[in-house]
Structures are given as C-alpha cells and as structure tokens.
Structure 1
Amino acid sequence: MTSRPFQQVDVFTATPCLGNPLAVVLDGNGLSTEQMQTFTDWTNLSECTFVLPPTQAGADYRVRIFCPGRELPFAGHPTLGTAHAWLAAGGQPQGEDIVQECGVGLVRIRRDGARLAFAAPPLRRGGPLDEADVALIARGLGIARDDVLAHSWCDNGPGWRAVMLRSAEQVLAVKPDAAVLAGLDIGVVGPRGKVGVVGKMGSDPHLLFDPHLLFEVRAFFPGNNGIAEDPVTGSLNAALAQWLIGAGMAPERYVASQGTALRRAGRVHIQRDADGTVWVGGESVTCVQGTVQL
C-alpha cells in the first residue's frame, strides 16, 4: 500500500454538507481498475475519482471516474470536484482553462470567480423517448402519463432519460418505485413557477418559461439497494440544459436547484455562450484533506 494525497469535496455548494460529496484520490498511479472500484464502493459515496498523468496533448490531467459498481466515461460533479481538488493541491493549468482528460475525451473547465464551470460534452443520444419508456417512467414515478409535459434522451455518458413535469412541487413529490425503474437512469425536471403550454414542437409541448425562474431537478439511478437518488448531478444538468435551451424551453442563462428532497441545497449555474457551448458551473468546498492508504 502507498500513502496517497486525498480530498473529500462537497460540490455545487459553498457550504459544507449541502452539496454532493466526492472522494478524490490525487495520485492514482499504479492502481488497478479493481482497486479503484473497491475503494469507491468502500467510500459509500455516489462517485470517487482518481487523478492520473494525461495521455492526450493539451490535457492538464487525466481522471477516472467511478460510482458504486461501475466506471463512468463522464460525470459532472466529479469533474468540478476533481478540478477544485487539483487546483487546491497546487495544480497549474497550461492555459486559461483547465483541460481534463476522461472517458469522453477532453473537457474544458473555466474559472468564474469562486465557481468552476465545465463545457458540456456533446450528447451521445438525444431526441424524444419511446412512448413505452415514458409510460414506464410515469408509472415508476407514481404520476399520470399526462403529467409528463416533455421528454428526451439526455445521454452524455450516463444514459439519462429525462422527463419534464408541470412544477417543482410535483418533482419534489414523486416517489420512485425501484422495481419499475430498475436499471434506468432517470432525470426529472420542473419549473419553479408558472408554465404555460403555447404550442407543439414535434411530439413534445413547447413550453414558455419566465427566464428568472429556477428549475427543480432530481436524478435517480441504479443503486446497491434498488434505486438511489443523487444529491446534485452535473452530467444530468448539462444534458437537460442542452435539451431545454435547444428546444426553446429554457433561457440561455438560468439556475437549477437540486437536492431539496435530500435536505441539500445544490445550485447549478447554466449558461450558453454565443457559440452554442453550454457551461455548467457551481462552487465547491473541501471538507476532508489528508492521505489515504491504497
């Protein structure tokens, strides 16, 4: 075993214990995939990352991202949390932006005051869900099919299936059925305020939003005991932003709230630049710092 620098970071919050925790092993050299997975499962957190030397030109570091039971090609809160820990440990980017190498390729991370923000990677799959999937998700969330106002694939590594409900209150009230939703990554979003159906866009309603309102988001994924809920989810919020802004259902700049149902207060800042790049940002804070024996 080797003593390795370690941080546990709370992401999408500036207040410890109100965001989404992440374990970061800042030196993953020499560890096997099995060792990384075993340590991740032991932490009992939603994700753990391992920092390694980059293999692609232009990258500042490489990261491998694990959640219980599997490795992920990309995830949002691990991206921001790892960048925060890397900077806190003395990391120096080659250019103005930090460039992370991971399973989906190179991901840019920019600094905006106290926040870090990553450039959302391209969707691997978008477009409306099959009607059978929508009906299954509605049943699994304990809602009527008519309560789903819009839906889309939001696959950017994690294969999120996303549904838009009528309100934030309805999002917070859903009670997922683990037996019905087994094996699915489900994202649920609803507006914090009034929303009106003003027309049709393909098979989905075209919704009109007040650009000053927040959205409420929840994320459900397969867990060790059936289905788990993620406190704050960067990858899902990135894909939701690409879907909703692209479909004209959200403004180019907004803030999403996530974690309320888990007594957290995550805040995800979304902005789409003129060139179409969607940036997903938030604050992070280090809660634990030291070494780990691996």
Structure 2
Amino acid sequence: MTLAYHILDVFTERPFGGNPLAVVLDADHLTTAEMQTIAREFNLSETVFVLKPTSAGHTARVRIFTPSRELPFAGHPTLGAAILLAELRATNGNGDNDAIIALEEEAGSIRVGVRMRANSVSFGEFDAPKMSSAAVEAISEPEELAAAIALIPVELGFENHKPSLMRGHSTFAFLPISNLDVMSQVKVMPQHWARAFTDHGVDGVYLYTRQCVRAHSAFHVRMFAPDLGVPEDPATGSAAASFASIIHQFDVLPDGTHKRAIEQGIEMGRPSAIQLTMTVARGKLEGVRIGGHAVRVAEGTLRIYVPSAAGLPLGGPSGRS
C-alpha cells in the first residue's frame, strides 16, 4: 500500500520557516499504532492523517499525532491540513480562490476559512474550539519554575503577569519572562522539569514577553513540550488560543475585537507569525481566532509493507522537495 504525503511549513510565508507539518492523505486503512509509528518516523512536532468524514457537511476527518501520542486538537496541524486540502481542491489553479474547509477532529468540528491568491502564499483562519476549562490557575513555586528552565525567580514575571496554568484540550503552563535577553537564556533542565511541570499534568510550557524582535509583534514566545516528544516548538496555535485567556485575565481587555501578532521560533531559526484575534463581550472572552499562512515545501509517497517475519510492518517515506 502506498499513501501520498505533503510537508508544509505553517505560520510562515517562506519555506523553511514556521512549524513543519506532515500531512498523510487517504489514511483510512491505517491503524492507530501505524499512525503513531509514522508520526515517530517523520519526527516533526505533529503529523496529520486525513480520513473520510464520518458526518455530512465536513471536508475530512483528521487525526493528529506528536512523535509520542495523539492529540485531540492542535493549531498548526489544523491550519496546515486545511490549507493543503483547499489548495488540492482549488478549481482555479492560477487565480483567486476562497474555501471553507470543515474538519472533524477529536476536539470537535472546526471550520477553517482559506484565502488563496495568485502569486501569494495561502492564508487560513479558524475559530479555536471552546475549552473545557478556561480558568487561570496558579502553578508551583517560582523557585521550582525558574529552576526547570535555567532561570532565577526574579526573571519570571513582568507588570502584573504571573505564572499560570490553563487546562483545556491540552494543558499549558504560561510563564511571563522579563525580557528578550532572559528569553534567549532559557533551556530545559530535566532534573527539575518533572516536579515543576510533568507532575502537574502540563503538556507544554509557553514562555512569553512583551519585548519583541519584530516591530509589529505584540508578544515574543517560546514553547517547550518534552513530555510530548517536542523539545521546542516553532509555532503553537493551540497554546496561542489558550494564551488569549491569559491576555484577557492580566490585561483586562475591554469589550470589542482585539488583534495581537505573536512571534515564535526565532531562537530556533524558524521564525513564525501567528495572528490571534480575541472577541470580548460583557467583560468575557467570547471568541478566539487563530490565523496564519502555510507553504508547501515537499511531497512524496509512504510505502506501507505487509507484516514480515522480521516484524517490520511499515516502510518509510520517500519524496522530493
């Protein structure tokens, strides 16, 4: 059996920036174990498997895997898969196209608006799924948190922003960092990480500061998820969606629509740009939208072998860029 796959760079307008994503098409006959094995083979932060939808009105069903486990929702896989499907279905290959791609995910139905323009990189935007819990919780002691990322407690926090925990489809710890110089010094300290984060059920640790490299950015961020098999992530749409609650909590946004540009991946040499749009009504955060570009950089074929006496049922990817 052979399956087509594509590699996209997501949350960027340029190849080899942003967050790379593998999308495997026509994956209905793969088992969960096979999907996990393939995701581990690609070894990207996430791999998406596209299947036939189970309900009318949807474009596709998708399953999302990190190298170590399946996720109910993730931002850059949602955006990248939708943009790819829109491009593959576009009726006017050399002109302007707009599409709505409706995806079935474990977290629910997500509709992605995709804008395709001649001589331009495709852009997509989606409403983030509602979180099961939007409460902002305190997390650990500053000394534990700082030790886990090779900092000292005084380097955590700015203005009224304090370390917080958000539980939703994934659980993120949000750590405000005093400035860009401190952000560049961060590194994961395994001997302290488990007590500060893993023991609290944290999937990823999202560090942010108002000091930015790009003039138009509102926040500079880094995200680490070693427990998911992701040492550092170049762009994290799901965490950005949860970050909206952090911004609303500490910045006390007034009613209306608020846009924030988030830069990420710069320390990794994979600069990313995430557009975060928040809608506040009657003092409550009512809606969150995540937007960004994605560009295709490679495509190829997965060869899936019949189980052999050596016990190796799966082949590997072959492709071209």
Relative to the length of structure 1, the TM-score reads 0.84
Structure 2 distance, partners of 1:62, 1:116, is 18
Structure 2 distance, partners of 1:83, 1:135, is 42
Q: CA deviation at 1:218?
A: 0.7
Q: Deviations over 1:230-285 (max 9, x none)?
A: 11111111111232135436781111110011011101111124663211111100
Could you tell me which residue of structure 1 aligns to residue 100 of structure 2? 97
Name the amino acid aligned to 2:4: P
Given that 1:13 and 1:283 are in contact with CA atoms closer than 8 Å, whether structure 2 keeps it comes out as yes
Could you tell me which residue of structure 2 aligns to residue 256 of structure 1? 262
Name the amino acid aligned to 2:59: D
Given that 1:126 and 1:152 are in contact with CA atoms closer than 8 Å, whether structure 2 keeps it comes out as no
Name the amino acid aligned to 2:276: I
Identity across matched positions, percent: 31
Worse overlay, 273-282 or 4-13: 273-282
Q: CA deviation at 1:16?
A: 0.7
Pick the aligned partner of 1:281 from 264, 282, 291. Answer: 291
Q: Classify 1:59/1:153 alpha carbon distance in 2 versus 1 (closer, same or farther; 3 Å).
A: farther
SS in 2 for 1:261: coil
Could you tell me which residue of structure 1 aligns to residue 167 of structure 2? 155
Worse overlay, 3-12 or 48-57: 48-57
Q: CA deviation at 1:111?
A: 2.7
Q: Classify 1:170/1:56 alpha carbon distance in 2 versus 1 (closer, same or farther; 3 Å).
A: farther
Structure 2 distance, partners of 1:273, 1:36, is 36
Name the amino acid aligned to 1:49: V
Structure 2 distance, partners of 1:54, 1:135, is 48
Could you tell me which residue of structure 2 aligns to residue 69 of structure 1? 68
Given that 1:129 and 1:161 are in contact with CA atoms closer than 8 Å, whether structure 2 keeps it comes out as no
2:234 matches 1:215: no
Q: Deviations over 1:97-155 (max 9, x none)?
A: 32211111111212356311121122233434445255422221122334332222233
Q: Deviations over 1:63-121 (max 9, x none)?
A: 000001110011111111111221222279xx963221111111121235631112112
Pick the aligned partner of 1:145 from 153, 167, 189. Answer: 153
Name the amino acid aligned to 2:128: A
Q: Classify 1:124/1:139 alpha carbon distance in 2 versus 1 (closer, same or farther; 3 Å).
A: farther
Gaps of 5+ in 2: 92-97, 117-121, 305-321
2:105 matches 1:107: no
Q: Classify 1:8/1:135 alpha carbon distance in 2 versus 1 (closer, same or farther; 3 Å).
A: same
SS in 2 for 1:257: strand
Could you tell me which residue of structure 2 aligns to residue 205 of structure 1? none
Aligned length: 273
Q: Classify 1:279/1:128 alpha carbon distance in 2 versus 1 (closer, same or farther; 3 Å).
A: closer
Q: Deviations over 1:179-236 (max 9, x none)?
A: 221434211111126xxxxxxxxxxxxxxxxx965211111112588x7111111111
Could you tell me which residue of structure 2 aligns to residue 238 of structure 1? 241
Name the amino acid aligned to 1:192: Q
Q: CA deviation at 1:20?
A: 0.7
Structure 1 distance, partners of 2:302, 2:80, is 17
Given that 1:40 and 1:68 are in contact with CA atoms closer than 8 Å, whether structure 2 keeps it comes out as yes
Given that 2:72 and 2:106 are in contact with CA atoms closer than 8 Å, whether structure 1 keeps it comes out as yes
Worse overlay, 81-90 or 35-44: 81-90
Aligned Cα root-mean-square deviation (Å): 2.5
Could you tell me which residue of structure 1 aligns to residue 125 of structure 2? 117
Worse overlay, 131-140 or 117-126: 131-140
Given that 1:128 and 1:151 are in contact with CA atoms closer than 8 Å, whether structure 2 keeps it comes out as no
Structure 2 distance, partners of 1:249, 1:217, is 20
Q: Classify 1:128/1:245 alpha carbon distance in 2 versus 1 (closer, same or farther; 3 Å).
A: closer
**Which one has a bigger Cα radius of gyration?**
2
Gaps of 5+ in 1: 194-210
Could you tell me which residue of structure 2 aligns to residue 36 of structure 1? 35
Worse overlay, 66-75 or 250-259: 250-259
